[in-house]
Structure 1
Amino acid sequence: MVRIHGPSLGLAALALVSTSSRCRAESTATSSASGACPTVLVPSYQAPVVAGGYVAQLIATGLKRPRGILIDSNGALLVVQQGSGIVHLKLSDHGGTCVSVQKSTTLVNDSSLNHGIELSKDGKTLYASSDDKVFSWAYDSAAVSVSGKRTLIQNMTNSDHVSRTLLLSRKAPDLLLVSRGSSENVDAGAAVLANGRSVIRAFNISNVTDTPYDFPSQGKLLGWGLRNSVGVAEEPQTGGIFSVENSADQMRRDGEDIHENNPGEEMNFHGFLNGSTEHQGGNYGYPHCFALWDKNIPNAGNLTVGNQFAPDPDYSESQDRSCLNDYVPPRLTFQAHMAPLDIKFTPDGSLAYITFHGSWNRDKPAGYKLSTVAFADGQPVDAPDSTTAVSDVLSNADTSACPGKCFRPVGLAIDTAVGGRVFMTSDSTGEIYAIQRAEVSATGSGGGGSKSSSGGGTLVTSTTTGTHNAAPALRTGRTDGWLFAALTVGLMVVGGWVFAAAF
Structure 2
Amino acid sequence: MKKSLLSILLLTVMATAMVSCDDDDDLWDTTVPEKGDTPTSAQFQGFIFRPGLMPASDANVNQLKVPEGFTVTKFAEDLGKPRILVTNSTGQVYATDREAGTVMLLVDTNGDGVADNKQTVANIKQAHGLAIQNGRLYIATVREVYVADMNMDGTLGQPRLLIKDLPDGGQHPNRTLAFGPDGKLYITIGSTCNSCPEPNRLNATIVRVNSDGSDMKVFAKGLRNTIGFGWHPQTGEMWGMDHGIDWLGDDEQKEEVNKLVEGADYGWPYIYGEGKYNPGDRPKGDTTYQQYLQKTTLPVLTYQAHAAPMEMEFYTGNQFPADYQGDAFVAMRGSWNRSKPVGYKVVRLHFENGQPVRFDDFLTGFLVNGNQSHFGRLVGLAVHADGSLLVSDDTNGVIYRVSKQ
TM-score of the aligned structures, taking structure 1 as reference length: 0.63
2:270 to 259, 266, 288: 288
User: Which 5+ residue runs of structure 2 have no aligned equivalent?
Assistant: 1-55, 317-323
Please name the residue that 2:247 is paired with.
250
* CA distance in 2: counterparts of 1:156 and 1:355, whole angstroms: 26
Residue 115 of structure 2 corresponds to which residue in structure 1?
Answer: 101
State the match for 1:234 in structure 2: 231
Structure 2 CA distance for aligned equivalents of residues 145 and 263 of structure 1 = 41
Cα separation, 2, equivalents of 1:315 and 1:188: 9
Counterpart check, 1:117 vs 2:114: no
Distance 1:220 1:195, change over 3 A: closer
Cα distance between partner residues in 2 of 1:409 and 1:93: 26
> Counterpart of 2:331 in structure 1: which amino acid?
T
Which amino acid in the other structure matches residue 73 of structure 2?
Answer: Q
Q: Any idea what the Cα deviations from partners look like across 1:226-268, whole Å, max 9, x if unmatched?
A: 00001111111221111111111112xxxxxxx1100100111
The reply to whether residue 260 of structure 1 matches residue 250 of structure 2 is yes
Q: CA deviation at 1:397?
A: 5.3
Mapped to 2, the partners of 1:157 and 1:92 lie a distance apart of 40
Give, as a single letter, the amino acid of the residue that structure 1 aligns with 2:305. Answer: A
Q: Give the equivalent residue in structure 2 for 1:89.
A: 106
**Counterpart among 330, 336, 344 of residue 299 in structure 2:** 330
Deviation at 1:152, TM superposition (A): 3.2
**Change in 2 beyond 3 A, CA 1:327/1:146:** same
**Partners of 1:93 and 1:267 in 2: CA distance:** 38
Q: Are 2:88 and 1:75 equivalent residues in the alignment?
A: no
Counterpart Cα distance in 1 of 2:139 and 2:336: 28
For residues 266 and 59 of structure 2, the distance between their equivalents in structure 1, rounded to whole angstroms, comes to 39
> Does structure 1 residue 155 correspond to structure 2 residue 175?
no
Q: In structure 2, how many angstroms separate the alpha carbons of the residues matched to 1:53 and 1:45?
A: 17
Counterpart residue number, 2:5 = none
1:408: Cα distance to partner? 1.2
CA-CA distance at 1:202 after TM superposition: 1.2
Percentage of matched positions with identical amino acids: 24
Amino acid at match of 2:313: K
Answer 1 or 2: which has greater strand percent.
Answer: 1
Deviation at 1:83, TM superposition (A): 2.2
Q: Hey, what's the Cα distance between the residues in 2 that align with 1:327 and 1:423?
A: 35
Paired position in structure 1 for 2:394: 427
Aligned pairs for 1:81-480 within 5 A: 81-84=97-100, 85-94=102-111, 98-113=112-127, 115-120=128-133, 122=134, 124-142=135-153, 144-152=155-163, 154-169=165-180, 171-173=181-183, 175-189=184-198, 195-205=201-211, 208=212, 213=214, 218-251=215-248, 259-271=249-261, 280-291=262-273, 307-314=274-281, 321-322=290-291, 324-347=293-316, 349-380=325-356, 382=357, 389-396=358-365, 398=367, 404-415=373-384, 417-418=385-386, 420-436=387-403, 438=404, 441=405
Cα shift at 1:402: 6.0
Kindly indicate whether residue 74 of structure 2 is the aligned counterpart of residue 58 of structure 1.
yes
What's 1:453 paired with?
none
| AA aligned opposite 2:263 | G
* Structure 1 residue aligned with 2:20: none
SS of the aligned residue for 1:147 comes to coil
Question: Cα 1:377–1:41, aligned 2, differ >3 Å: closer, same or farther?
Answer: same
When the two chains are superposed, the root-mean-square deviation of aligned CA atoms in Å is 2.5
How big is the shift at 1:404?
5.0
Deviations 1:88-140 (A, max 9, x none): 1121454xxx5112121110022321x201111x3x21101111111101111
Q: CA deviation at 1:319?
A: 5.4
Q: How far apart are 1:81 and its partner, in Å?
A: 1.1
- The whole-number CA distance in structure 2 between the counterparts of 1:406 and 1:43 is 11
Q: Which amino acid aligns with 1:358?
A: G
Change (3 A) 1:323 1:53: farther
Classify the secondary structure of the residue corresponding to 1:248.
Answer: coil
How has the CA–CA distance of structure 1 residues 397 and 358 changed in structure 2, closer, same or farther, with 3 Å as cutoff?
A: closer
What is the TM-score of this pair, normalised by structure 2? 0.77
Mapped contact 2:81–2:98 kept (Cα < 8 A): yes
Please report how far the alpha carbon of residue 326 of structure 1 lies from its aligned counterpart in structure 2 after TM superposition. 2.5
**Alpha-carbon offset, residue 285 of structure 1:** 0.5
User: Once the two structures are superposed, what CA deviation does each residue of 1:325-364 show, in whole Å capped at 9, x if it has no partner?
Assistant: 3300011111100000011112285211111000000100
Choose 344-353 or 320-329, whichever is displaced more: 320-329
Question: Which structure 1 segments of 5+ residues have no match?
Answer: 1-39, 252-258, 272-279, 292-306, 383-388, 442-503
Residue 400 and residue 313 in structure 1: after superposition, are their counterparts in 2 closer, same or farther (change >3 A)? farther
Alpha-carbon distance, 1:182 to partner: 0.5
Task: Give me the whole-angstrom Cα distance separating, in 2, the residues matched to 1:104 and 1:403.
Answer: 33
Separation of aligned partners in 2, 1:338 and 1:329: 19
Partner of 2:294, secondary structure, is helix
Residues matched between the structures, number: 339
CA distance in 1, matches of 2:62, 2:339: 21
Q: Structure 1 residues 289, 148: closer, same or farther in 2, change over 3 A?
A: closer
Letter in 2 for 1:201: V
Contact 1:133 1:152 in 2 (8 A): yes
